[in-house]
């Protein structure tokens, strides 16, 4: 079993255990046609790992905070941001809503599917984009093992200073 398969199995186990513990049904996985249709609307392919999460685990509702956005909602959010006054980079799909207009997003054009944070409350568009994690796999591992910044359940989350690294590709992608 390769690393990606192990990671998908760990995510699936966590989702199954969480669903059992909360008495909630598992999210329904998407079919290949639904993913292909979403990619057609977006104009770019999902990163392979993100596509596998939607196809094998379920259509959102699992993961950090409120969980991954259902794919249809992620597509709608992408389209809305692209049409808004904010200059939204091509190929960057919002995948999780952290509240207060902050989103975790996957750069589907990066080889590692790096995870970016979008926080427009910082003011300038250049400042709104920062690197959360170099890869979607690393972001998921941080959620699984509880080491990611968004896993802080101590109530100190707002007091912790995240050292946000600006995303250098922002200007070239808008």
pLDDT of residue 131: 93
Among candidate residues 84, 46, 86, the one with its CA nearest the CA of residue 68: 46
pLDDT digits (tens, 9 = 90+) for 31-87: 999 999 999 999 999 999 999 999 999 999 998 888 899 999 999 999 998 888 778
Query: DSSP secondary-structure letter at 114?
Result: -
Burial 61-83 (b: 16+ CB within 10 A, else e): bbbbeebbbbbeebbebbeebbe
State the residue for tokens 């597509």: 75
Q: What pLDDT was estimated at residue 56?
A: 96
User: DSSP secondary-structure letter at 156?
Assistant: -
- Check whether 161 has a pLDDT greater than 60: no
The answer to whether residues 93 and 105 touch, using CB atoms and an 8 Å cutoff, is yes
**At the topology level of CATH, where does 3-147+164-173 sit?**
SMI1/KNR4-like (3.40.1580)
């Amino acid at each position: 079993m390769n690393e990606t398969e192990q990671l998908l199995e760990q995510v699936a186990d966590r989702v199954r255990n969480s669903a059992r513990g909360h008495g909630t049904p598992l999210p329904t996985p998407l079919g290949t046609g639904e993913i292909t249709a979403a990619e057609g609307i977006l104009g770019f392919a999902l990163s392979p790992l993100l596509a596998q999460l939607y196809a094998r685990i379920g259509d959102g509702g699992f993961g950090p905070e409120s969980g991954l956005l259902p794919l249809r909602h992620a597509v709608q959010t992408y389209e809305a941001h692209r049409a808004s006054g904010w200059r939204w980079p091509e190929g960057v799909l919002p995948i999780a809503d952290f509240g207060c207009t902050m989103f975790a997003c996957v750069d589907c054009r990066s080889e590692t599917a790096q995870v970016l944070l979008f926080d427009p409350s910082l003011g300038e568009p250049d400042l709104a984009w920062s690197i959360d994690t170099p890869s979607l796999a690393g972001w998921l591992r941080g959620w699984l093992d509880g080491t990611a910044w968004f896993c802080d359940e101590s109530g100190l989350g707002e007091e912790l200073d995240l050292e946000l690294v600006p995303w250098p590709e922002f200007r070239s992608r808008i």
